[in-house]
Amino acid sequence: MALVVAGIVVLDCAEPEKLAAFYRELLDAEESHVSANRVEIRSADGMRMAFRRDANATPPSWPRPENSLQAHLDFVVEDLDAAERKVVALGGRPLEAKDAPGPYEERGCADPAGHSFTLMTNRTAAPKLG
């Protein structure tokens, strides 16, 4: 029997309820746990995320080097344009970045609290350069 049986991505933020709503809609997920300082969601394919209240949370500054990546999420999508429109409609924003080299398409985005993530059309992406 495995010692660790599950993993979960946890993002610190000032307003976990609002950030959980963003990702719940983006991933078509359901809330699985709610407490005063934490909201957890689970997507239909089993991906688990949690959002923990931290009144002093500072948004990452990617692509600037200081405080750049506290965590990074990749989401596989079938239609980059449609996924990016949904991100914007939910309060997120696209991040300006150079196109990744090679045949893989991906777009950088940020959630409403400033955490960066990537929308990609292929699970096996080329390694980031720089």
13/9 Cα distance (integer angstroms) = 13
pLDDT at 8 over 60: yes
User: What is the predicted pLDDT for the residue at 40?
Assistant: 95
Q: pLDDT tier at 71 (50, 70, 90 boundaries)?
A: low
**121-25-128 Cα angle (round to 5):** 30
* pLDDT band for position 117 (cuts 50, 70, 90): confident
Lowest-confidence range among 2-6, 30-34, 104-108, 110-114? 2-6
- Note the maximum CA span of the chain: 45
- Asked if residue 82 belongs to a domain, the reply is yes
Q: What is the pLDDT of residue 121?
A: 83
Average pLDDT along the chain: 81
| Whole-angstrom distance, CA of residue 23 vs CA of residue 29 | 8
Count of domains forming the chain: 2
In a shared domain, residues 126 and 62: yes
Q: What is the mean pLDDT of residues 10-29?
A: 94
Bridge partners of residue 33, in order along the sequence: 40
pTM of the model: 0.70
Q: Do 68 and 103 sit in the same domain of this protein?
A: yes
Domain ranges, residue 30:
9-55
